[in-house]
Amino acid sequence: MVSGAPNGRSGQRLGQVVLDELKERLLDGRYEAGARLSIEELKAEFGVSKQPVMDALRRLETVGIVEIIPQSGCRVAVYSLQEVRDFFKLFGRSEGELAAAAAARRTDEQLRALEDVWQRTEDLGAGPDPETRRRGYRGLNREFHLTIHRMAHSRIMAELSERMWDMSDFFIATFGSARLMADAVRERNHDHDVIRHAIRSRKAEVARVAMESHIVGTLDLFT
């Protein structure tokens, strides 16, 4: 339960708390596609009025991971497998452009940060617990790619990519296979190894192709 009256700045903070928690649940696969999200139940759970809940749901709808249905309520977004395929093909192209820019513009300090997160992901992949690997990979994978975004030194490219990353995590968690994701950590991090070597060597075209292949290869996680 969230304490405090939902008005003014307090209301904005409450809305952010609700947003952050709902987004985490959606990106972690705790709701099935098409599942109904009860506004009344969310109000009671968070101890807030309707406004912070609706504000959070509207923002999640702009991302594309929930759908507000007039006079009916809200549900987790539903997509066809073809739409998921189309998304990852488009996403691969955009991330490929970012990787190419990163190879041309990265600093040595940023490269060290990239290699650090790669090593932590490698260590995670050697762990024995599948659920720990699955959950841990989502955070480390996002950190790896965000580091590449910073290397590109292009705010417009990074900001446009952020929404697509939320969609990617949502698709993997909601429509993908948790078992396949847990088992694929080392293979996925091998892709990261190829990408980081291309960026280290400032081979922009190699980085572009490797990144696009890596992103499109995410489709192997869907059964």
Given the structure tokens 């990144």, which residue do they identify? 211
Class of domain 7-76: mainly alpha
Domain ranges in the chain are 7-76, 81-221
pLDDT band at 113 (very low <50, low <70, confident <90, very high): very high
Q: For the segment 9-41, what is each residue's pLDDT rounded down to a tens digit?
A: 466 788 899 999 999 999 999 999 999 999 999
User: What pLDDT score does 221 carry?
Assistant: 87
Bridge partners (DSSP) of residue 96 are none
Rg (CA), the chain: 19
Specify the pLDDT at position 2: 53
Question: What pLDDT does residue 11 have?
Answer: 60
Amino acid at 185: V
pLDDT in tens, 33-92: 999 999 999 999 999 999 999 999 999 999 999 999 988 889 999 999 999 999 999 999
Q: What pLDDT digit, counting tens, does each position of 169-215 carry?
A: 999 999 888 888 889 999 999 999 999 999 999 999 999 999 999 99
Confidence of residue 223 (pLDDT cuts 50, 70, 90): low
**In the predicted structure, residue 150 carries a pLDDT above the cut 70:** yes
DSSP letter for each residue of the chain: ---S--SHHHHHHHHHHHHHHHHHHHHTT-S-TT-EE-HHHHHHHHT--HHHHHHHHHHHHHHTSEEEETTTEEEE----HHHHHHHHHHHHHHHHHHHHHHHHH--HHHHHHHHHHHHHHHHHHT-S-HHHHHHHHHHHHHHHHHHHHHHHT-HHHHHHHHHHHHHHHHHHHHHS-HHHHHHTHHHHHHHHHHHHHHHHTT-HHHHHHHHHHHHHGGGGG--
pTM (two decimals)? 0.88
CATH class of 81-221: mainly alpha
Band the pLDDT of 4: cuts 50, 70, 90. Answer: very low
Place of tokens 């990617």: 168
